[in-house]
Amino acid sequence: MAEKVALVTGGARGIGRGCVLELAKRGFDIVIVDLLRPEMERTAGEVTALGRQVMIEEADVAEHARAKEIAAAVRVRFGRLDVLVNNAGRGNPTGILEITEEAYDRTIAVNLKSCFNYIQAFAPMMLEGGGGRIVSMSSLNAHTGGVTSAVSKFSYAAAKAGIIGMTRALAKELGPTIAVNAVCPGVIETEIGNSLTKARGPELAKKISLNRLGTPADVAQLVAFLATAEPFFITGQAISLDGFQWEI
């Protein structure tokens, strides 16, 4: 039986990798769920180097049945889950007049339905183990409709806003045994966001009070706090992490 176990969806790279490594440093054995096997294996090697056990599961997080399969595998391997980080996501900058139904559905499925999939699959195990923490990755987009005035991401914003509503409802339903929170990052320097941050990074930084863009490590520190802090009196919250981006 593992002492503490955390699962991170989309944990192979970017913000997810940052969360994986920070939780491993804090003593968690790790389950990484992602579609990117080479990146998963590389991140898994980093976890092993930190002296923690790691399990990797290649999966499309939008698939409900696959989440159940992974829960069964985690039960066999570790016997418990203490922290669930719903980090997997994808963007879609297509506007309302151009986006296809299929593209809209996929954006909602990967960003929002995936949270439902993994919470429903793992909440029973967490309750049996005496409780735990769920942290889901929302976005500044949920509040603004886009982190910059040049980018309107209505389908992405809709999904990320849905995560906030789900978080608040589940904090009521699963409390006091499981604390459920959401994190709302602003502009973060990741592989996915490189085209935006490389082209407009200095310009965007001028509109952030801390005068820099965020990093995966910034997000990981907050996620790790929500996963480990004791005593704990934070649940049902959507916590902004944007360096105070005062202009979009």
Alpha-carbon gap, residue 206 to 183, rounded angstroms: 23
Q: Across residues 3-21, what is the average pLDDT?
A: 97
pLDDT for res 148: 58
In the chain, beta strands by DSSP E: 5-9, 29-34, 54-58, 83-86, 132-137, 178-185, 238-241
Orientation of helix 154-174 relative to helix 101-108, angle to 10° = 30
Q: Do 171 and 179 contact (CB within 8 A), yes or no? A: yes
The reported pLDDT for the residue numbered 169 is: 98
Hey, which residues are catalytic here? 156
Residue 231, preceding peptide bond in cis (omega within 30° of 0):
yes
Write the pLDDT tens digit of every residue in 92-139: 888 899 999 999 999 999 999 999 999 999 999 999 999 999 999 999
pLDDT at 194 over 60: no
Mean pLDDT of the chain: 92
- Residue 56 Cα to chain centre, angstroms: 16
For the chain, domains (ranges, CATH) are: 5-241 (3.40.50.720)
pLDDT of 233 over the 80 cut: yes
pLDDT, position 192: 61
Per-residue pLDDT, 193: 55
Burial (Cβ within 10 Å: 0-12, 13-18, ≥19) of residue 2: middle
- Identify any residues that bridge with 133 across adjacent strands, giving them in sequence order: 83, 179
Task: Determine phi and psi for 121, rounding to 5 degrees.
Answer: -70, -35
Alpha-carbon distance of 105 to 71, in angstroms, equals: 25
Q: Is the CB of residue 61 less than 8 Å from the CB of residue 33?
A: yes
- Model-level pTM? 0.94
Task: Give the max Cα distance, the chain.
Answer: 52
What pLDDT is recorded for position 29? 98
Average pLDDT over residues 202-226: 91
Query: What's the pLDDT at 68?
Result: 98
